[in-house]
Structure 1
Amino acid sequence: MKQIESYCHKKILVLGLAKSGVTAASLLHKLGAFVTVNDKKPLSENPEAQGLLEQGIKVICGEHPIELLDEGFELIVKNPGIPYFNPMIEGAIEKGIPVITEVELAYEISEAPFIGITGTNGKTTTTTLVYEMLKEGNKQPLIAGNIGTVASGVAQKAEKDDTIVIELSSFQLMGIKTFNPKIAIITNLYDAHLDYHGTRKEYIQAKAKITENQTELEYLVINADQEETMEIAKHSKAKIIPFSTKKELAEGAYIKEGWLLFNGEPVMEISEIALPGVHNLENILSAMAAAKLSGVENSAIQVVLKTFTGVRHRLQYVADVNGRKIYNDSKATNILATVKALSAFNGPTILLAGGLDRGNEFDDLIPYLKNVKSLITFGQTAPKLERVGKLAGIKTISRVDNVEKAVPEAYRYSEPGDVILLSPACASWDQYKSFEVRGDIFIEAVHKLK
């Protein structure tokens, strides 16, 4: 890692812990900063904070006292999940204290270049595909961000010949200042996280920050099938590499006569791809573009696409139980993700859905429920989903307490040849700490069926 001096003897507040806050605080301490950590969880219930205390880092737990901002901090590193309308952040901005996320720290200390992936849907799959393609092509990738280890932890170990492949949320991107990926990917843009950003415009502006510092020496891989993504491209200084599932392009990644092509060169036949779902072609094309720009041979790309069947919790094949194929799509935390999951299957489907109520309705699902013969609901949104299920003409609708109970209920209404699909269309936080926990409970319940 680069031994930078810019944080030495600076007074820095790390706001919010979790993995990113712990790593950032430890790193800043190593770099000679005077670090204070502030986390809402009480110290007695906070082993992470206790560990930082043992390192000699000042820790304040149990609340976010606004008067803390009067202590002369020169920088705040905030947890990405803390919104900008939080009183501490608003107070810091009023006082002119810069606010960043730990991704910025990672970039500043990294010896290795970055490939950054963002967008509404497909980030995790695309990030994993890029990583696997670079790995198969012997390009020494490291994976970081929401999908892997904390970025500033990975960056401490990265060497010049490595490449850090990182999944980036809009929350993380709002806190960058100089972060500049060698290759940036924007998969697509739809409504998401409006409770955090306030408006679609602000959400898109946050996503656009991935290319904000790029120059003509870097690349922006962008979805050519969306006006809003192409509008971002117009304002980027990077070399634009478009991808499209709908039209032939003069350059970039696209589909023609059943083949994946890059800059006019056939790379692989679509029929040989193992990953299910038409929607995954967007992810595949953008990942292929990043791999080709990184010098990966077609043969390595082919090996990955012939064997990669999906990431955990994203349309993940779990098991065949007495002729029922069961899929875990717990990462489908919005309607569009569930639409894409439903579109991946043509046969009779038992859908398990529900979760945190963010105030939206689910009518947009109706056209995609034609193959759903049974709907099993749970969580806060169960009544809303049941209303939509009735409008769609689903004959069997059943409400259960949670995902664990939804699995045997779904099996009860299924027959050999059916697909049982967990694709909640909602965040998990009404009942579960994360979509990963929800998905793991689902998988465990499936294995109990056996």
Structure 2
Amino acid sequence: MKHIKTYENEKVLVLGLAKSGYSAAELLNDLGALVTVNDGKPFEENPEAQGLLEQGIRVITGSHPIELLDEDFSLMVKNPGIPYDNPLVAKAEELHIPILTEVELAYQVAECPIVGITGTNGKTTTTTMIGLLLNQERKAGKAHLAGNIGFPASAVASKAQAEDDIVMELSSFQLMGVEAFKPQIAVITNIYEAHLDYHKTRKNYVAAKWAIQENMTEENYLVLNWNSEELQVMSKNTRAQVVPFSTKEKVANGAYLFEGDLYYKEEKIMAADELGVPGAHNIENALAAIVVAKLKGVSTEAIRQALSTFHGVPHRTQYVDTIEGRKFYNDSKATNSLATEMALSGFDNDKLILLAGGLDRGNGFDELIPSLEGIKAIILFGETKDKLAETAKRAGIETVILTSNVETAVPLAYEQSEAGDSILLSPANASWDQYPNFEIRGDKFMQAVKQLEK
């Protein structure tokens, strides 16, 4: 870790805890800052705040008092999930207090190169693939996963050595709080419409994603999904070297799908059907990962071997089990229609039972109809089950079953299936009507699958 002097004796307010806030507070404290942590959760219910207090760090919990900003802070480090219209954040902006997220701190102290990955969908899978590939045949150091994937970037950066790499998943929320952040290689998997409740407009959302390349120079590489005309246009406004990937056309200096095979430039890497994870979206993810691996000097054989044995990450088209010839897949991370469409692209609909439903955000599901056509059966739960049932009927699905939740959906799906079928949880909705998060929803699905074996 670089022991920078930037924050020595500077008063810094860390707003919001969870993993990233906790790590940011610890790092700033180690760098000699005078840290105050403010979190809305009451102290007696807040183990992170209790842990920081034990380290001698000042904590204020239970509310976000505006008068805190009377203390002349020189910096605010904000939890990415806290919106900019939060009164304390808005007041900090009014006072011209710089507002960062902890990924900026991570960059400032990191001794090793950073590979940054952002996009609407596919970030976690692509990040995991890249981490796996960069650890193949490695003779020195290690590639560490960090960021939105669940490992606080500042904690990882404070421990990483000069010979390592940090492979960092970055959300739009995190990228709104960067200043000097400059990855060696950046990847944008795709850009669709998302998080408009936070960003207010699509323009703001796209700008947040594009911030990943703001400080990059001709020495750096920007890996872009060439299937997107929008990204092609945006690529003209970067100083980085642009390296494309595409499933629709040959791209001269990047990675592409051609006649069922994955290529980097003119070199065949592997057959698409050798990938260990299903779906057209995972071909895109793999192509992005291949570009990064090749730029970092990983051999073709190492790439092929690693990607053929990679079976996904938890809750993202994750293979769970095979029971009596039925394969079960957990795609609980599919919290919108687009993610479910992408998951469905990897299966034969006439041999597929789909489990879907969840939080009603007021949207319809007509965009799913082309992807649902020909599905053998659909089992629906949650607040949106009636809406989805209407959509399924318009898609021509004959077997539409409504049930209470994921746990009851699994045995019903099994009853409708036969050997050779796949049973896929891909909800197309957030989980919060019934489950605290998509991870718990996916865990409940996998537990219910295990129950079938008894």
TM class, shorter-length: over 0.9
Q: Provide the rounded CA distance (Å) in 1 between the counterparts of 2:281 and 2:328.
A: 19
Letter in 1 for 2:196: L
Determine the structure 2 residue equivalent to 1:2: 2
**Total equivalences in the alignment:** 450
Selected match of 1:414 from 389, 405, 417 = 417
Superposition map of 1:196-275 within 5 A: 196-275=198-277
What's the counterpart of residue 130 of structure 1? 130
The residue identity in structure 2 corresponding to 1:381 is: T
Q: Of 373, 378, 393, which aligns to 2:376?
A: 373
AA at the equivalent of 1:60: I
TM-superposed CA distance for 1:250, in Å, is 1.8
Q: Compared with structure 1, are the counterparts of its residues 379 and 70 closer, same or farther at alpha carbon in structure 2 (3 Å cutoff)?
A: farther
Partners of 2:434 and 2:29 in 1: CA distance: 36
State whether residues 338 and 423 of structure 1, in contact with CA within 8 Å, keep that contact through their aligned partners in structure 2. yes
CA distance, structure 1, for counterparts of residue 259 and residue 403 of structure 2: 46
1:349 is aligned with what amino acid? L
1:322-379 CA-partner distances (Å, limit 9, x unpaired): 2221100011111111001111111322211112222221110011111323222222
- Distance in 1, matches of 2:199 and 2:434, equals 23
Q: 1:442 deviation in Å?
A: 0.9
**Structure 2 residue runs without a partner (length 5+):** none
Structure 1 residue runs of 5 or longer lacking an equivalent are: none
- Cα distance, 1:313 vs. partner? 0.8
Instruction: Return 95-104 or 370-379, whichever deviates more.
Output: 370-379
Q: Following TM superposition, by how much is the alpha carbon of 1:146 offset from its aligned partner in structure 2, in angstroms?
A: 2.0
Distance 1:374 1:87 in 2: 48
Match of 1:306 in 2: 308
Question: Corresponding residue for 1:322?
Answer: 324
| SS, match of residue 372 in structure 1 | coil
Write out aligned runs for 1:82-93 (5 A).
Answer: 82-93=82-93
Q: CA separation in 2, counterparts of 1:64 and 1:402?
A: 36
Match of 1:142 in 2: 144
- Matched residue of 2:166: which SS? strand
Letter in 2 for 1:81: G
Cα distance in 2, alignment partners of residues 81 and 135 from structure 1: 31
3-state SS of paired residue (2:56): coil
> How many angstroms apart in 2 are the aligned matches of 1:137 and 1:245?
28
CA distance in 1 between counterparts of 2:418 and 2:393 reads 21
Contact 2:354 2:426 survives alignment (8 Å)? yes
Quote the offset at 1:284 in angstroms: 0.7
In structure 2, the partner of 1:393 is 396
Give the TM-score normalised by the residue count of structure 1. Answer: 0.97
Residue identity opposite 2:74 in structure 1 = E
- Does structure 1 conserve the Cα–Cα contact (< 8 Å) formed by 2:374 and 2:396? no
The one-letter amino acid paired with 2:18 is: A
CA shift, 1:154, in A, is 0.6
| Secondary structure of 1:83 counterpart | coil
The Cα of 1:84 is off from its aligned counterpart by 1.3
**Counterpart secondary structure, 2:420:** coil
* C-alpha deviation, 1:176, in angstroms: 0.6
Alpha-carbon deviations, 1:261-293, whole Å to 9, x = none? 212222223343222112211111110000000
Amino acid at match of 1:375: I
Shift of 1:240: 0.5
Q: Is the Cα contact below 8 Å between 1:42 and 1:61 reproduced in 2? A: yes
Q: Distance in 1 between matches of 2:30 and 2:280?
A: 47
Encode CA deviations 1:61-89: one digit per residue, 9 max, x unaligned. Answer: 11112222222111111111111122221
Task: Look up the match of 1:349.
Answer: 352
Q: Deviations over 1:116-173 (max 9, x none)?
A: 0111111111111111111113162111112242111110111111000011111111
Match of 2:451 in 1: 448
What is the identity percentage for the equivalent residue pairs of Structure 1 and Structure 2? 59
Partner of residue 164, structure 2: 162
Deviation for aligned residue 1:212? 0.6
Q: Is the 8 A contact 1:192 1:334 kept in 2?
A: no
The whole-number CA distance in structure 1 between the counterparts of 2:164 and 2:69 is 39
Distance 2:66 2:380 in 1: 41
Structure 1, 291-300 or 228-237: larger mean CA deviation:
228-237
Native 8 Å contact 1:37 1:59 kept in 2: yes
- Contact 1:329-1:424 within 8 A present in 2 as well: yes
Q: Deviations over 1:226-283 (max 9, x none)?
A: 1121232111110000111111112111122332221222222334322211221111
Q: Which amino acid aligns with 1:417?
A: G
Amino acid at match of 2:432: W
1:437 paired to 2:411: no
Q: Give the stretch that moved more between structures: 392-401 or 235-244.
A: 392-401
Structure 1 pair 401–192 and aligned structure 2 pair: CA distance change class (3 A): same
Does the 8 A contact of 2:247 with 2:258 survive in 1? no
The Cα shift of 1:408 comes to 1.8
Three-state SS of the structure 2 residue aligned to 1:136 is: coil
Query: Any conservation in 2 of the 1:99–1:175 contact (CA below 8 Å)?
Result: yes
Shift of the 30–290 alpha-carbon distance from structure 1 to 2, 3 Å rule, reads: same
1:294 to 289, 293, 296: 296
Residue of structure 2 in register with 1:337 after alignment:
339
Equivalent residue number for residue 403 of structure 1: 406
